[in-house]
Amino acid sequence: MENPGDHLARMRETAPLVQNISNFVAMNLMANVLLAVGASPAMVHAREEAAEFAALAQALTVNIGTADPAWGAAMQDAAAAMNAAGRPWVFDPVGVSATRFRRDLSARLIALKPTAIRGNASEIRALAGLSGAARGVDAGDSVEAAMEAAQALARRTGGVVAVSGAVDYVTDGTRGCRVANGHPLMARVTAMGCSLNGVIAAFCACAPALEATAAALACYGLAGERAAQAAQGPGSFQPAFLDALAAQTPAALSAGAKVSAA
Amino acid sequence: MENPGDHLARMRETAPLVQNISNFVAMNLMANVLLAVGASPAMVHAREEAAEFAALAQALTVNIGTADPAWGAAMQDAAAAMNAAGRPWVFDPVGVSATRFRRDLSARLIALKPTAIRGNASEIRALAGLSGAARGVDAGDSVEAAMEAAQALARRTGGVVAVSGAVDYVTDGTRGCRVANGHPLMARVTAMGCSLNGVIAAFCACAPALEATAAALACYGLAGERAAQAAQGPGSFQPAFLDALAAQTPAALSAGAKVSAA
Amino acid sequence: MENPGDHLARMRETAPLVQNISNFVAMNLMANVLLAVGASPAMVHAREEAAEFAALAQALTVNIGTADPAWGAAMQDAAAAMNAAGRPWVFDPVGVSATRFRRDLSARLIALKPTAIRGNASEIRALAGLSGAARGVDAGDSVEAAMEAAQALARRTGGVVAVSGAVDYVTDGTRGCRVANGHPLMARVTAMGCSLNGVIAAFCACAPALEATAAALACYGLAGERAAQAAQGPGSFQPAFLDALAAQTPAALSAGAKVSAA
């Protein structure tokens, strides 16, 4: 596996245009995260233009956090366009077990074979059809408890599945790795998970999905560690996190990344 | 009346899931405010899932700041679900006097008897059917001038009405109290009022509405006082406010709360 | 031409109510920018109330960043209402060349003769019907390369056109000026351009469009210069920018503005 810093350096050279059909809570932070890390964000979700815009984008993210039927249709249009172009797209099944609408939409999106899926343990288990214990968008399950579900889901979609937690787990259904970067304050700021999807998509635009996703998780978590040193609480953490993402060098990422086979 | 700090401690133990049908401007800050204070936020407003999600939530907030007819229908669905479950919901009539759409939607929401209504003096007067002088979402009237309207509105809905201002006024139509915490910088940051609704809802999920609302106002205002000491202006106030909310202890709240009968 | 500081002082005395049909990414920052600079923001875009609300507003901004057909209709309703009332409105053609939907909607909005149009060089060239090289919402063209397009567009609409870049260019089709304030960090934070539209609208509510737009650009760029001195990166830049906008005095603006004829 390449050094995580090499992935960051290549992504910054490419500065991929990442289209995001995200949720209303996350859009602003997600755009700032993508700018800070060195990618180019665009939030385009109207059905009248989502698939057309996808032809311009190097990667796509889809997040059902505040979806409705019209947005759901745009998500499917755009994901199909990325598949047709052979470009990566990342799916985040926010709160998938909470309502029938989310379950149905997620099933349709899974059928479109996302390049990467990222969620917390409860979401990944629910998505894999196992019994989850999701409550809102919080993670009720441990990452360990979702490993099998993640592997099964990855084999079913042919893509990569990442389970976010204190130590993240990433798998393509056969191989897997753990990423131990991060800080508890990251869970005290809304949209941190959603915004990570954009970074995964940007890295996946420049390298194979398993390695790229692991590098993106390490890059994000390491910036969180640095930001936590400067923060007084969840409020000051957010600007410090964007500063840390922007200031992170490839060398620092390779030195600080905690990625191990699993 | 219990100490405000006791309300905060109980709310944090419960960590209630608060569903918010809020506005686009406020969603991000509101979610961060709820996380910082110790509750669990979810922004769910699509009509296809709003009422179904309400069955999972311990409290609901409704805010008409950027509503449209579809959202208005979801608000009524979700409020009715909370009423059926005997759980609290908070209504914020943002800019109610500005357009016919807002007046009509607000009238339908009032008929669903919110547990708590929070607005500025002009909004509360307009809502009570008295003559207001609202201009956009600014408060043109004084809190004193809205006391009678607040009491009448509380008697009509059977709930609590809170009038935000330099000194807040809260009433259930019979009893009332004043909360003198806060800082002028709070009015220089958008969505501070909207986000307060979430804190009120979280406290109301754990205690009777009049006491809970007063405690929530004191908790919020005191965090604003602390944040203002650290801020250089409205920009640095916002992260400092979230830090102060997260750092606030029950003991500090009980010591710093300025709640008095009125 | 009056001193830029005189424009700022007059705007603050008036504190114009600025209605914004903006995009989801920008709404929160834009409202905070308008509050910080001394205006009064309102985000009102539902077709059921957009034109009715426009009757209360001193100025309007329209931004197609996340528009859909319903929002597009509300934009046209509200712009027509401002025209009928003789009040200014500002148009931002975000990513106009990216999709047919954006081109068609922009053509309809241009026909309604905006008081001011602001965009990057690629957007202004695309809008003027010249060949652009837009990629997402990034500026691929230089400001110099868009001067002729800006002049032609201004003559066609009878309004002012501002091209944002390292040095901004503003023209009414005959006269023109350059504004050299600003800092590269402003392009590393999302929604900084969108939020500037609100400041232009607020200044245009109080003075003729060419002078008012130049003063607004100088006010905004100078605050960016001050904020950059205090910032560690794009994250800490945003709160520092709002602080600098709020702290900026008319005298400091007149002293620091870099406006020259062009």
Interval B181-211: pLDDT, tens: 999 999 999 999 999 999 999 999 999 999 9
User: C17: which chain B residues are within 8 Å (Cβ-Cβ)?
Assistant: 135-136
Instruction: Give the largest Cα separation in chain A, rounded.
Output: 46
CA A241 to mean position of chain CA atoms = 17
With CB atoms and an 8 Å threshold, state whether C53 touches B98. Answer: yes
A95: nearest CB among B36, B42, B239: B42
Is residue C249's pLDDT more than 90? yes
Picking from C35, C47, C48, the nearest residue to B234 by CB comes out as C35
pLDDT of residue C135: 46
State pLDDT tens for residues B234-244.
999 999 999 99
Query: Is the CB of B236 less than 8 angstroms away from the CB of C240?
Result: yes
Give the mean pLDDT of B220-231: 98
By CB neighbour count within 10 A (0-12 exposed, 13-18 middle, 19+ buried), where does B140 fall?
Answer: middle
Q: Nearest CA to C4 among C194, C180, C236? A: C180
Question: Is the predicted pLDDT of residue C137 greater than 60, yes or no?
Answer: no
Q: Do A32 and C99 touch (CB under 8 A)?
A: no
The mean pLDDT value of chain B amounts to: 94
- Return the pLDDT at A141: 76
User: Nearest residue on chain C to A71, judged by CA atoms?
Assistant: C68
Chain C residue closest in CA terms to B94 = C42
Dig out the tokens for A167 from the structure.
């130590």
Collect all residues of chain A within an 8 Å Cβ-Cβ radius of residue B28.
25-26, 28-29, 190-191
Q: Mean pLDDT score of chain A, rounded to an integer?
A: 94
| Mean pLDDT of the C7-35 span | 98
**So what's the pLDDT on residue C141?**
76
The mean pLDDT value for B152-177 works out to: 96
What distance in Å separates residue B13's CA from the closest CA in chain C? 31
Mean pLDDT of C159-172: 97
- B104, two tokens: 């009509």
Among A190, A244, A34, residue whose Cα is nearest residue C235: A244
Residue B135 pLDDT > 90, yes or no? no
The confidence score (pLDDT) of residue C140 equals 66
Q: Which chain A residues have a beta carbon less than 8 Å from that of C68? A: 46-48, 70
Q: Mean pLDDT over residues B204-228, rounded?
A: 98
User: Searching chain C, which residue's CA lies closest to the CA of residue B231?
Assistant: C243
Q: Does the pLDDT of residue C217 top 90, yes or no?
A: yes
Residues A187-240 have pLDDT tens digits of: 999 999 999 999 999 999 999 999 999 999 999 999 999 999 999 999 999 999
Chain C residue set in contact with B, beta carbons under 8 Å: 17, 24, 27-28, 31-32, 35-36, 40-49, 52-53, 56-57, 70, 238-247
Question: ∠ CA A54-A42-A94 to the nearest 5 degrees?
Answer: 85
How many inter-chain contacts (B to C, CB under 8 Å) are there? Answer: 99
User: Given a cut of 60, is residue A139 above it in pLDDT?
Assistant: no
| pLDDT confidence of residue C136 | 47
Cβ–Cβ gap C235/A32 under 8 Å: yes
Q: Taking an 8 Å Cβ-Cβ cutoff, which residues of chain B contact chain A?
A: 17, 24, 27-28, 31-32, 35-36, 40-49, 52-53, 56-57, 70, 238-247
pLDDT for B1 = 59
Residue ranges per structural domain of chain A: 4-261
Q: Which residues of B225-238 are buried (b: 16+ CB within 10 A; e: fewer)?
A: bbbbebbbbbbbbb
Residue among A26, A29, A101 minimizing CB distance to B48: A101
CA dihedral sign, ordered B138, B140, B145, B149: negative
Q: Which helix (H) or strand (E) holds B19?
A: strand B17-21
Closest chain A CA to residue B18: A136
A30 min Cα distance to partner chain C (Å): 9
Q: Residue C138 and residue A40: Cβ atoms within 8 Å?
A: yes
Q: Is residue B141 over pLDDT 80? A: no
Q: Parallel, antiparallel, or unpaired: how do β-strands C160-164 and C116-120 relate?
A: parallel
Please report, for residues C62, C221, C242, the alpha-carbon distance to residue C204 in angstroms, rounded to integers and kept in the order given.
Answer: 14, 17, 21
Backbone angles phi, psi at C30, to 5 degrees: -60, -45
Chains that touch A (3 or more CB pairs under 8 A): B, C
Interchain CB distance below 8 Å, B234 and C241: no
Q: How do residues B94-114 score in pLDDT, each as one tens digit?
A: 999 999 999 999 999 999 999
For chain C, the chains sharing at least 3 beta-carbon pairs closer than 8 angstroms are: A, B
pLDDT tens digits, A152-196: 999 999 999 999 999 999 999 999 999 999 999 999 999 999 999
Instruction: Identify which of C10, C9, C171, C193 has the alpha carbon closest to the alpha carbon of residue C91.
Output: C193
Tell me which of A175-184, B136-145, C58-67, C171-180 is least confident. Answer: B136-145
| pLDDT score at B136 | 47
- What CA–CA distance (Å, rounded) separates C229 from C208? 32
Predicted structure pTM score: 0.96
Average of per-residue pLDDT across B108-133: 88
Classified by CATH at the fold level, domain C4-261 comes out as: UDP-N-acetylmuramoyl-L-alanine:D-glutamate ligase (3.40.1190)
Reported ipTM: the value is: 0.95
Query: In Å, what is the CA distance from A233 to each residue of A188, B3, B248, C56?
Result: 9, 25, 11, 40
Model confidence at A133, pLDDT cuts 50, 70, 90, reads very low
A·B CB contacts under 8 A: 100
Q: What is the pLDDT of residue C132?
A: 45
| pLDDT (mean) for A123-149 | 74
Residue B117 has pLDDT above 70, yes or no: yes
Band of the pLDDT at C123, cuts 50, 70, 90? very high
Please state, rounded to an integer, the average pLDDT across all residues of chain C.
Answer: 94
